[in-house]
Amino acid sequence: MTLPIKGASIIKAFEDAGIQSIVALPDIVTCDTVLWPLSSNPNFMFIPVCKEDEGVSICASLSFCGQRALLLIQHTGFLDSINAIRAIAVEYQLPVVMVVGLQGSDPDTHPNQSKSIGIRALAPICDALELCYAFITDEESAISIVEMIETAYENSSPCAIFVPNPPV
Amino acid sequence: MKRDQALQALARHYPDGIVVAVYQTAFDWMHIRPHDLNYLCTGAMGQASSHGLGLALGVPDEKVVVLDGDGSLLMNLGSLVTVANMAPRNFFHFVSQNNMYEVNGKYPIPAATTIKFDQMAIAAGYRYAFSFDDIGQFNSEIEGILDLEGPVLVCMHIEPGEFYPLDYATLHSEQTRVIFRNALKSRLQSHLQE
């Protein structure tokens, strides 16, 4: 039996991957167990933004300074930021790491079969953009968060880490 | 005042620092102050202030000048609040206001005759904001403004000056990004050796 992923495990994965800055806009899926603890964690510079595409640019420009940052948002904000993701993260090949909560996701249904078109469309959009992505649901997948972040920064390429269910 | 005159004045007082520039201002700036620390890869319209904020937070010992446009800033007005909230002391936000989308057909921006970016910046929480339409006054005050603690916004009411070519290829090229990255790395290493 797989255990649902813990918020603490996600935060530890960020630390293990060398993330220094968290750029964020509240997302209902990750707010309680990831965003709130992160926002008071002295190991990170916390940068709240008003709109998600700001965060794409902030993460991109921090990478030029040799710093690792991560954008924590909701999937609606991901959809709203597609042009910035396309231009800045994908076309410029910059290490923009996005951790994206899927608001309204049904825990018993894979996101690719979701009744919500906004959730169902995420994988095809990432495929079309040639954007690396994964759905993170259980404790065992925490290690893949570290791997995806490491790969993003080693290869200077973006990635999206989707979190369908509220971490415990 | 003419944009190239204003940019030339800025370049005289800021010859060697990081500059994030967009669209027509970027095309002008590339000729007026060619420099490896010109950050031209803003990618999507409206994002200059956000790129500048990341740089300002990433290299707090370096000044960061953002050369924004009025139409561009209107696409990312929330960034005024984001910048003010983080309050980077090294952040200098110049907005070229010509009341139009200059490289997109010269169509007017909304509220072109009434909008006041300096007042918006102060309301958002910037430490200082200024507005200039006279090159003489801009010339005499720019040095002092660059000595202030940011975030600072300077609205430049401008009209086109000399025409510089729309060099999108350089703006978006990988080589431009590599040059900036290496230049910033060298600058930071030189700080460490001081």
pLDDT digit string, tens, across residues B15-72? 999 999 998 899 999 999 999 999 999 999 999 999 999 999 999 999 999 999 999 9
Is A2 part of a structural domain of the chain? no
Say how many domains are in chain A.
1
Structure tokens at B121: 């910046």
Q: Within a domain: residue A106? A: no
CA dist B15 and B78 (Å) reads: 30
pLDDT value for B163? 86
Nearest to B51 by CA among A161, A146, A147, A69: A69
Inter-chain residue contact A54 with B52, CB threshold 8 Å: no
Taking phi first (over 0 means left), then psi (-120 to 50 degrees means alpha), and beta for anything else, what does residue B9 get? alpha
Q: Do B51 and A83 touch (CB under 8 A)?
A: no
Interface of A with B (CB under 8 A): 21, 45, 47-51, 53-62, 64-67, 69, 83-84, 86-88, 91-93
B54/A83 touch (CB, cutoff 8 Å), yes or no: no
B183 touching A (Cβ < 8 Å): no
A88 closest CB neighbour out of B47, B53, B85: B47
Q: What is d(CA A109, CA B58) in angstroms, rounded to the nearest whole number?
A: 41
User: What is the residue range of A30's domain?
Assistant: 7-101+117-163
Structure ipTM = 0.96
Nearest-by-Cβ selection for A50 from B39, B81, B184: B81
**Domain holding A66: CATH number?**
3.40.50.970
Q: Judge whether A131 lies within some domain.
A: yes
State the pLDDT at residue A1. 66
β-strand partners of A59: none
Does A112 fall in a domain?
Answer: no
Q: What distances in angstroms separate CA B46 from CA A23, B1, B77, B162, one per listed residue?
A: 18, 23, 8, 24
For residue A81, what are the CA distances in angstroms to A12, A52, A53, B117?
27, 6, 5, 24
Q: What is the mean pLDDT of residues B118-127?
A: 98
Report the distance separating Cα B118 and Cα B128, nearest Å: 8
Rounded Cα–Cα distance for residues A130 and B130 (Å): 44
Q: What's the confidence (pLDDT) of residue B23?
A: 86
The rounded distance, in Å, linking the Cα atoms of B161 and B167 is 17
Q: What domains sit in chain B, N to C, each tagged with a CATH number?
A: 3-188 (3.40.50.970)
Nearest CA in chain B to A23: B54
Q: Is residue A152 in a domain? A: yes
For residue A35, is it within any domain?
yes
Close Cβ partners of A14 (under 8 Å, ≥ 6 residues apart): A22, A38, A44, A70, A145, A149
In a domain, A141, yes or no: yes
Report how far Cα B96 is from the mean position of its chain's Cα atoms: 8
Could you report the average pLDDT of every consecutive run of 10 residues in chain A (168 residues)? 91 98 97 96 97 98 98 98 98 98 94 96 98 95 95 98 96
